[in-house]
Amino acid sequence: MTDLLTIENLRAGYGQAVVLPNMSLALPEGQVLALLGRNGTGKTTLINSIVGVTRRFSGKIALAGADITSLRADQRARSGIGWVPQERNIFRSLTVEENMTAVAQPGPWTVERVYQMFPRLKERRNNFGNQLSGGEQQMLAIGRALTLNPKVLLLDEPTEGLAPIIVEELLAAIGTISRAGGLCSIIVEQHAQKLLALADRVVILERGTIVHDAPSSALKADPAPLERHLGVASAAAH
C-alpha cells in the first residue's frame, strides 16, 4: 500500500531552536497513529511541521507522493492536510454551518455527512461558535477539518478537558472517519490508554526523536514501553 504521508529526515523547530533533529515517518491510507510522549518531547512540533507553521532546517514532506515541503500552511490545507489544533480555532462569530461551508472543498466529506457523524452539530447548525459547549466545539473543529476533504487528519489533544462520555463519542467517531477510506490520522494524546483501542500504531517521542514505533496491539500485550517512556502504570494500559 502506498504511503499517504511521508516525512524524510526532517529537521525543524522554532527560530534557532531545533526540536525535531532528524524525523522520518510514513503513514499508509487508513492508518490511525497515536503520537505519545511526555510534555515537551516534540509531539505538537511534529504536527505543526506537517501543517507548515514551524521553521524547517532540512528534510522533506510528501503527501500522496507530491512534495509539499515548500508549500505555505494554507496551500498544504488545500492539498489535503486537515488540522484540529489544541485551541480548536473555530470561527466564534460564525454559525456551525458557516464554519464548515467557509472552508469546504469538493469531495466525499460534505456538511451533510458531518451531520450524520455528529448529529449534535445538526441540532446546533444555526448556533454561533461561541454558543457551543467544549465538546460541541471539538466536534465542529473535526467537522470543519473533514469538509476540507483531507488526506491526512491531524488531531492535537482532541479529548483534552472534555467529559468522559464526550471523549468516548469523539474517539469512536475518529475511528470511523479514519477507516472510511482515503485518509490517515495522527492523534496526539497525553493519556495513552485512551488511544490503544483506537490506534493501529503507536509512536513515542523523546527529545524530538522516535524511541518506540510498534502496532498498538504489541503495547496492549506488553505495556512496559509505556511505563518506561511515559510513566504509565502497567495496570492502566489494559
Residue 93 has pLDDT above 60, yes or no: yes
pLDDT at 234: 45
Q: How confident is the model at residue 13 (pLDDT cuts 50, 70, 90)?
A: very high
Phi-psi region of 40 (alpha: psi -120 to 50; beta: other; left: phi over 0): left
Using a pLDDT cut of 70, give the percent of the chain over it. Answer: 97
Summarize pLDDT for 130-140 with one digit per residue, the tens.
999 999 999 99
Summarize pLDDT for 134-170 with one digit per residue, the tens.
999 999 999 999 999 999 999 999 998 899 899 889 9
Say how many CA atoms lie within 13 Å of 121 toward its Cβ.
Answer: 27
Query: Domains in the chain, ordered, with CATH?
Result: 28-52+73-229 (3.40.50.300)
3-state secondary structure of 143: helix
Dihedral sign, Cα of residue 61, residue 65, residue 70, residue 72: negative
Count CB-CB contacts under 10 A for residue 208. 22
pLDDT at 238: 36
Measured CA angle at 35 (ends 113, 139), to 5 deg: 25
